[in-house]
Structure 1
Amino acid sequence: MWSISAWEILKCVFPENSTGSRIMTTTRIFDIATGCCRTFNGHIYCIEPLRDMDSRKLFFRRIFHTQDTCPPHLEGLSVAILRKCGGLPLAILHIASLLSTKSDTKDEWELVLNSIGSALENSQTLQGMKKILMLSFSDLPPHLKTCLLYISIYPEDYMINPRTLIRKWIAEGFIAEERGKRLDQVAQSYIDDLTNRSMLIPMDISYEGPILQVHDMVLSIIRCLSAEENFVTIVDAQQSSPLPKKIHRMSLRFNDLEDAVVGTTIASQNYIRSLTVFGFTKQVPSFSNYKALRVLDLGPCEFLENHHIECVGSMLQLRFLVLHSNFITELPEQIGNLKYLEMLNVKFCSLQRLPETVVQLRKLICLYVSKVKLPDKIGNMQLLEELSHIFVSSSSVRFVEELGSLRKLRHLTITVEEPSDMEDHGRGYKEALLSSIYQLVRRNLESLSLDYRGHEDFIQDSSMGSCFILQRLGKLIIMKPLSRIPKWMSNLANLTRLELYISRMEESDIEILKCISTLLFLRLVFTGCAPSGRIVIHNQGFQCLNEFYLLCFIPGVWPVFAHGAMPKLQRYHITFKLLEQQSNSDDFKFGLKHLASLQHVRVVIVPTGDTNVDISSVETAIRNETSIHPNQPTLQIDTWQ
């Protein structure tokens, strides 16, 4: 809680009764804590600073990656620095992150010690904490300062998609070229550096990378600095305070569907380089005069219509464009004029096709649509790296051939229609498709998601496996439901992610998957039958697997893990269906205790329509297995509604 007025509004929704409910609020302001407690006769719990021992552990672990080791020549300085941090975890973490970028010399550490000052040594105040955060910011190199200031466009507690952030940084021109690296790789190194300095917080780490968040105090500092430099202007939809005469980048916040109003002052700004909208609104911001825009993100504007975006074709500086509205059914032909456009995301629009002029976007790198037909001359777009989710008609042999010529394509999501004519045209179409997939994998394709609207023989045939013989592919998703796992998958030696839909669950299928020794992530959906009954996963294979998602809609069937199975598995998500008569507790064995690295388990139970099973007995069995696990993994259990 940041204000008494916010609490006065919030408390109105809580009924005053004696049912035993508890409300917990957190705040850094004592007067607010007192006000919250006064309403319901509550109690204030003041969190104490870390003890000296815990402070040392946090400090040394961040710098030296150990809890109790410090070079002797730095021991005295570490004590002095920790004294000034006053046991505040955020202060310790930021100073430690700063020192981790320095050399282990007394001069470097003394310089940091003297820069902290005495603000925290004498008083554990917000001002002292801000002084440390300012020190961390001041130590950043110029390119990281610029990228971090851009984070001020995001609201508090916003979950930041790093891939989107990277594309915005690139569109703004913040990323410097480095020999031998793509710009997105350089930008990723910026994110890694900011994360190592504790400026960005990874919220959900997996093999695909984290979603990012910013601590509210860090964000507060960034916003203040951004406002001082007129770097980003935050505009509330009910804006009453005066705006800068010249806005460079605007973050427009909507809090209400009905009452949002966009001021005329905003509409008159002609030099805005970036406009990003947050929140949901029925209002459509006026952006027709924004000719200098490089970034236009209108994702939350779900009520945009075709006539609202007619002006987009005249924004000749545009690099980044996001439109998410079901009421947009076509893009203007003039979109082909955007010769600098690098990112186009219209995947939540109701488009059936893209205009022929889209192939004029020669600098386009990322194109996100939703099962949309593209023009045949897609080969003109040679800089494309990400293409999702396109639909390929069985009559478009030329398009399939041109698709294979995209030399830089790294990520492809595609829905393919099976030809009705299986004679010369049908064979030519399939041969062209296989040839294009082979050419893409041979060059740069890292990720393929394929949905084939036809017979599964096309997927099962060894000719499909021959497309991946060069073993470059890292991610493969096949949306087409299959009766069995294709045998050729055992040859995918470099695959790290695999997602499949299978209508049966047998040992032979598991044996094929075991051969993919590099798998880090596996998602399987079983929908049919299990002729061999319960599947036991032994200690052979899956030696690198980190995440396993299993959705098994075969009643009474789920895998049981034997000792030594999946030794590196950390996250296990299982959805399974109960039998109608399944009440013996011995029926509910999963072998979770045998997963040595397990950290998190999520279980979704699907009851059968007339089941007599007491679901609580299933939950008890699962909780018993996780409670005896030495890692004490977190557990989440849900019931399918």
Structure 2
Amino acid sequence: MELVVGASEATMRSLLGKLGNLLAQEYALISGVRGDVQYINDELASMQAFLRDLSVLPEGHYHDHRRKDWMKQIRDIAYDVEDCIDDFAHRLPQDSISDAKCSFLVTKMYELLTWWPRRDIASRIAELKVRAQQIADRRNRYGVNNPELHCDSSYRPRARSAAQDIAEYQVTKLQIIGIREPVGMKTVMEDLEKWLTEPQPENGRAVLSIVGFGGVGKTTIAMALYRKVSGKFGCRASVAVSQNYDQDAVLRSILNQVSNQEEAGSSTESSRDTTASREENTAEPGTKSTLIKLKKAPSLSLLGRNDDKTPVRQQETMGYVQLRKELKRRLGEKRYILLIDDIWSAKTWSDVVIPFLPDEANNNSRIIVTTRFHAVGSTCSPRHKNVEATSSPRPGNDRVHKNVEATSSPRPGNDRVHTVNFLSDDESQNLFNASIPDSMKSADRDKELSSICGGLPLTIVTMAGLVACNPNKTDCDWRKLCKSLFPDPVTTLNLDGVTRILDCCYNDLPADIKTCLLYLSIFPKGWKISRKRLARRWIAEGFATEKQGLTEEEVAETYFNQLTRRNLIRPVEHGSNGKVKAFQVHDMVLEYIMSKSIEENFITVVGGQWQVTAPSNKVRRLSMQSSGSKNGNSTKGLNLAQVRSLTVFGNLNHVPFRSFNYGIIHVLDLEGWKGLKERHMTEICQMLVLKYLSIRRTEIAKIPSKIEKLEYLETLDIRETDVKELPKSVGQLKRINSILGGNKKTREGLRLPQEKGNKTIKNPLPQGKTKEPAKKGFLSQEKSKGIMKSLHVLSGIEIDEESAAVAASLHQLTGLRKLAIYKLNIEWRSETFQELRSSIEYLGSCGLQTLAINDENSNFIDSLDDMSAPPRYLIALELSGKLYRLPEWITSITTLNKLTISITVLTTETLEILRSLPSLFSLTFASSLRASKKDLDKIKDILENNKLATDGEIVIPAEGFKSLKLLRFFAPFVPKLSFSDKNAMPALEIIEMRFKDFEGLFGIEILENLRGVHLKVSDGAEAITNFLASDLKDNTEKPKVFVDGIVTA
């Protein structure tokens, strides 16, 4: 397999820059060492050029063992040299000597005090020089040369580089992620759905086992069935198990889902009586029919509970026995449906699942299981009878599985085993065509390419992604590719065949993007990965750097888009800005990249769902994952002194901090690790080259002031922690790019630091106020001025009446691209009020792209209408809370694609104003979902008044909103809404709603592109679902209705 050339190049780029800086420091090197550093610098530069030549090979050509071993040696010495330079940098402080301008006396004192560490480093550099010489000699001694690239008839991919694909960033299409549905299985799906919902003899529990080869679509089928039928059961839960699982975590996940639904349903009984108040769904002559119409808005609570009141924290401390008993008790009196995905052994079923299931009751409960193995499926569904499928196999292909159906049973409670067929030739070609742009379709080529994929959906869409990213290749090129992959006709696609196809798609990637793909093996199987989290980590690792005028963030987004277009990753959640919010990696793709990562010692995984052997050499990037095995997350025997990236997943009892070399760790991702303590934060502050630090969702309450030592830190993620205020030393972080804090759900904000001083604020104080000692903002200190110019994201902060200096300091953040204020508590026209508005106006002229302000008390957001110059670069704007008038300048922001505003400005006139925005992708009307009764009554009064001008309803006007695809209402009360014409929001695809009281939604059946209505619900779900399902059931082209992701109509 090919070496991770992109990772080596990324390390080389970083290293050569550091070596250049080191050579420029006259005072730092001992006599004689400069020549060694220069030699290493020159030698590694030549090695980097050689690596580039090796990164492109003709299809079917591979590096021999000698070349691969030599490339590994290059990578290892590059890592070791960089580690040495990093250690050099933090052991030899340079600030004091540079401040003293290297005076003779200070220089001599510096040389004396640092003689021993410089001597030690000189010795290490001399050793590295010898290694570099030996590696260079070894190349010639053993005949390691550039591969000969013959121009023959064999297929050869074009030499791609990431730079060639940079332009694609400019034309990325904003879209909404669709629900994945099985291909070519309509009849089978209807049959299975019927079996799941209809009573069985004596109403016993029944199990459906879905069996099939990896990548054939088992999980897609199971999830589609689960979404369609779950609404008909008393409770539901889904969980992935996989090969190496955490037994407690599996049970805890199911228990959390069941208990949440149980508590949410406690108030549903009171809402059932509201169904009697529903008016007849009749339309006046010449008008459109009503989707939902309630006589008097019943209190249908679709808000969800306050997380603080859930028993989740108690369940986190339960052991296996307690979890099993509690789950059995909760399921005992309910009709439930469970989805257990990816079971690998019969022992998992007998040891994990069976013990928590209650004794069989007459409640028609159902369990759906997916597995790759027939023996496991038969164990999970013991009361089934195999019947051969009547479908005929594909011509010339003996690998088609048979449908195994249950038609009779020796006892009540029929189980069922369904073996998933590979796709037929026609189905394969249809899926292939659906996965590439219309402009690139070619009947003969597509038929030939889809035929070598063996009817496996995974390989079909992956090959289609390869075609979509190579528009300049001819049909002749693709025929050569097919011949090189499979010289003989494909009759059976086994694991080796899948690997060949994945190899082909992988080898076509640019070196940088190959590295970014392999980096995904850090995450556990089935993990929902945040796009932004991944991009920030890529940047910290040096995999995404500035290119062709694009920033690091934009280059990372380009790489991500490439992986998406190639179908190597699967988006599963969209953001309201039209971009992917989260994605997953298919299990077989993850297994493929994991094998490459392990082979090249790129990633080391401890614990989790993988059964891998520990590396015999140095660990560079460590992923620690919770495991059901007692020793599954042990690092015993591993050499952790060279770890430069550490990621923790799950509830681990111990992380060996003291085994790491703090001087070389670049990435530390502890998101969600409950074992993090205050003492660990002191140790983290010793990781002097740290670039990425995430302690999100941990229980940390304080950031040490010594964080200022992390001068290379780029990302600080402390969201959803107990940290309420940053230390003032955070203003000393020279390279900080993103500060992420607060809690978006609860609107708790992070206070920025300030200190008392003698500086007087010039703005006049409000009448009646007495002058107090002014405070300095965290950027007001002399040492901090100009330091945080690299800060692009400041999210989740709080501004209160004591924050005038902080508000004034924001002027200095001229590089800011995103400012999110979660909590605003200031007085009208006060000093802080004036300073904040001035700062926002100034930042808006400097390139601010995202502005979010939640203002529940001060009427500050209304004052933004008076700004002399609008923030003309805005892409996303959120003004939530008490907003009573729409800023007049909003229509001049032609780049705006995401807008969130308070529902209090929801009027027909507002919609007529906003419809002219040419780029608007999503529009959200929101207010606090935790509003008090007094505030709720006030909101109702405002909205009732808003309706008066248009006959008691809010009318969505015809024409306009050309780009709008997502419309959302998140508020306690939503007034009566009406779509006046089919051209009202013509591109609209999704409506999302969350509310307490709801008056009605009219005319959505005339919207041609509407795909679904999504409701986020807990209380009152049954009543509102009945309304929607009843009104839509007669519409042939009806949009689907989803309640918590479950299809109900």
- Please give the range of the TM-score, normalised by the shorter of the 2 chains: 0.7 to 0.9
Deviation at 1:497?
A: 1.5
Describe the shift of the 1:64–1:479 C-alpha distance in structure 2 as closer, same or farther (beyond 3 A): closer
**2:595 aligned partner:** 224
Describe the shift of the 1:578–1:309 C-alpha distance in structure 2 as closer, same or farther (beyond 3 A): closer
Deviation at 1:412?
A: 0.7
**1:82 aligned partner:** 450
**2:607 aligned partner:** 236
Task: Tell me whether 1:278 sits opposite 2:690 in the alignment.
Answer: no
Task: Tell me whether 1:117 sits opposite 2:486 in the alignment.
Answer: yes
Per-residue displacement from partner, 1:250-303 (whole Å, max 9, x unpaired)? 1111247x9788646378611101111111345455356332211100112124
Deviation at 1:173?
A: 1.2
**1:440 aligned partner:** 843
* 2:1012 counterpart letter in structure 1: H
**1:372 aligned partner:** 750
Select 1:95's aligned residue among 445, 463, 483: 463
Select 1:58's aligned residue among 427, 431, 436: 431
Select 1:570's aligned residue among 970, 989, 1011: 989
Between the aligned partners of 1:96 and 1:504, the Cα distance in structure 2 is 46
Between the aligned partners of 2:1012 and 2:868, the Cα distance in structure 1 is 37
Task: Tell me whether 1:249 sits opposite 2:621 in the alignment.
Answer: yes
Select 1:193's aligned residue among 553, 562, 572: 562
Secondary structure (helix, strand or coil) at the match of 1:448 reads strand
Select 2:506's aligned residue among 137, 140, 164: 137
**2:700 aligned partner:** 328
Secondary structure (helix, strand or coil) at the match of 2:702 reads coil
Deviation at 1:514?
A: 3.7
**2:378 aligned partner:** 34
Select 1:507's aligned residue among 895, 900, 908: 908
Per-residue displacement from partner, 1:456-500 (whole Å, max 9, x unpaired)? 1x32236544452x5221211123323454555455443222222
**1:623 aligned partner:** 1029
Select 1:519's aligned residue among 913, 917, 920: 920
CA contact under 8 A between 2:672 and 2:698: conserved in structure 1? Answer: no
**1:582 aligned partner:** none
Describe the shift of the 1:637–1:263 C-alpha distance in structure 2 as closer, same or farther (beyond 3 A): closer
Deviation at 1:66?
A: 6.6
- Larger helix percent: 2
Select 1:5's aligned residue among 319, 341, 347: 347
What TM-score, normalized to structure 1?
A: 0.87
Which structure 2 residues correspond to residues 353-364 of structure 1 after superposition, within 5 A?
353-364=725-736
Select 2:722's aligned residue among 327, 350, 355: 350
Secondary structure (helix, strand or coil) at the match of 2:735 reads coil
Select 2:683's aligned residue among 294, 311, 319: 311
Between the aligned partners of 1:391 and 1:267, the Cα distance in structure 2 is 44
Secondary structure (helix, strand or coil) at the match of 1:363 reads coil
Task: Tell me whether 1:25 sits opposite 2:432 in the alignment.
Answer: no
* 2:962 counterpart letter in structure 1: Q
Per-residue displacement from partner, 1:183-231 (whole Å, max 9, x unpaired)? 1111111111111111111123453411211111000111111111111
* 1:449 counterpart letter in structure 2: A
**2:669 aligned partner:** 297
Moved more, 213-222 or 116-125: 116-125
Deviation at 1:11?
A: 3.6
**2:201 aligned partner:** none
Between the aligned partners of 2:492 and 2:915, the Cα distance in structure 1 is 59
Deviation at 1:55?
A: 1.8
Describe the shift of the 1:47–1:326 C-alpha distance in structure 2 as closer, same or farther (beyond 3 A): closer
**1:392 aligned partner:** 799
Secondary structure (helix, strand or coil) at the match of 1:128 reads helix
CA contact under 8 A between 1:482 and 1:501: conserved in structure 2? Answer: yes
Moved more, 442-451 or 203-212: 203-212
Deviation at 1:62?
A: 3.1
* 2:844 counterpart letter in structure 1: V
Secondary structure (helix, strand or coil) at the match of 1:225 reads helix
CA contact under 8 A between 2:977 and 2:1001: conserved in structure 1? Answer: no
**1:636 aligned partner:** 1042
Deviation at 1:568?
A: 1.1
Between the aligned partners of 1:453 and 1:17, the Cα distance in structure 2 is 51
Secondary structure (helix, strand or coil) at the match of 1:461 reads helix
CA contact under 8 A between 2:738 and 2:793: conserved in structure 1? Answer: yes
| Contiguous gaps of at least 5 residues in structure 1 | 580-586, 609-613
Deviation at 1:44?
A: 2.6
Between the aligned partners of 2:791 and 2:461, the Cα distance in structure 1 is 40
| Contiguous gaps of at least 5 residues in structure 2 | 1-342, 385-413, 743-748, 754-776, 780-785, 928-935
Between the aligned partners of 1:615 and 1:106, the Cα distance in structure 2 is 55
Describe the shift of the 1:330–1:288 C-alpha distance in structure 2 as closer, same or farther (beyond 3 A): farther
Describe the shift of the 1:464–1:3 C-alpha distance in structure 2 as closer, same or farther (beyond 3 A): farther
Describe the shift of the 1:119–1:484 C-alpha distance in structure 2 as closer, same or farther (beyond 3 A): farther
Describe the shift of the 1:578–1:345 C-alpha distance in structure 2 as closer, same or farther (beyond 3 A): closer
Between the aligned partners of 1:504 and 1:573, the Cα distance in structure 2 is 18
CA contact under 8 A between 1:115 and 1:135: conserved in structure 2? Answer: no
Between the aligned partners of 2:376 and 2:641, the Cα distance in structure 1 is 42
Task: Tell me whether 1:561 sits opposite 2:979 in the alignment.
Answer: yes
Moved more, 223-232 or 540-549: 540-549
Describe the shift of the 1:342–1:10 C-alpha distance in structure 2 as closer, same or farther (beyond 3 A): same
Between the aligned partners of 2:885 and 2:680, the Cα distance in structure 1 is 48
RCO higher in structure (CA 8 A, sep ≥6): 2
* 1:14 counterpart letter in structure 2: L
Select 1:550's aligned residue among 951, 969, 976: 969
Describe the shift of the 1:110–1:494 C-alpha distance in structure 2 as closer, same or farther (beyond 3 A): closer
* 1:36 counterpart letter in structure 2: C
**1:412 aligned partner:** 819
CA contact under 8 A between 2:423 and 2:457: conserved in structure 1? Answer: yes
Deviation at 1:602?
A: 1.7
* 1:83 counterpart letter in structure 2: S
Between the aligned partners of 1:204 and 1:34, the Cα distance in structure 2 is 34
Deviation at 1:434?
A: 2.0
CA contact under 8 A between 2:799 and 2:826: conserved in structure 1? Answer: no
CA contact under 8 A between 2:716 and 2:738: conserved in structure 1? Answer: yes
Between the aligned partners of 1:605 and 1:364, the Cα distance in structure 2 is 39
Between the aligned partners of 1:219 and 1:282, the Cα distance in structure 2 is 26
Select 1:209's aligned residue among 572, 579, 584: 579
**1:381 aligned partner:** 788
* 1:499 counterpart letter in structure 2: T
Moved more, 282-291 or 160-169: 282-291
Describe the shift of the 1:390–1:287 C-alpha distance in structure 2 as closer, same or farther (beyond 3 A): farther
Describe the shift of the 1:3–1:506 C-alpha distance in structure 2 as closer, same or farther (beyond 3 A): same
Describe the shift of the 1:156–1:400 C-alpha distance in structure 2 as closer, same or farther (beyond 3 A): same
**2:149 aligned partner:** none
Runs of 4+ residues over 6 Å off in structure 1: 237-240, 258-261, 605-608
Secondary structure (helix, strand or coil) at the match of 1:331 reads coil
Between the aligned partners of 1:94 and 1:17, the Cα distance in structure 2 is 45
Deviation at 1:158?
A: 0.8
Describe the shift of the 1:545–1:155 C-alpha distance in structure 2 as closer, same or farther (beyond 3 A): same
Secondary structure (helix, strand or coil) at the match of 1:636 reads strand
Describe the shift of the 1:281–1:208 C-alpha distance in structure 2 as closer, same or farther (beyond 3 A): farther
Number of residues of Structure 1 aligned to a counterpart in Structure 2:
613
Between the aligned partners of 1:224 and 1:418, the Cα distance in structure 2 is 53
**1:584 aligned partner:** none
Task: Tell me whether 1:494 sits opposite 2:900 in the alignment.
Answer: no
Describe the shift of the 1:634–1:166 C-alpha distance in structure 2 as closer, same or farther (beyond 3 A): same
Secondary structure (helix, strand or coil) at the match of 2:970 reads strand
Secondary structure (helix, strand or coil) at the match of 1:86 reads coil
Secondary structure (helix, strand or coil) at the match of 1:247 reads coil
CA contact under 8 A between 1:462 and 1:488: conserved in structure 2? Answer: no
Secondary structure (helix, strand or coil) at the match of 1:134 reads helix
Deviation at 1:360?
A: 1.7
Task: Tell me whether 1:146 sits opposite 2:518 in the alignment.
Answer: no
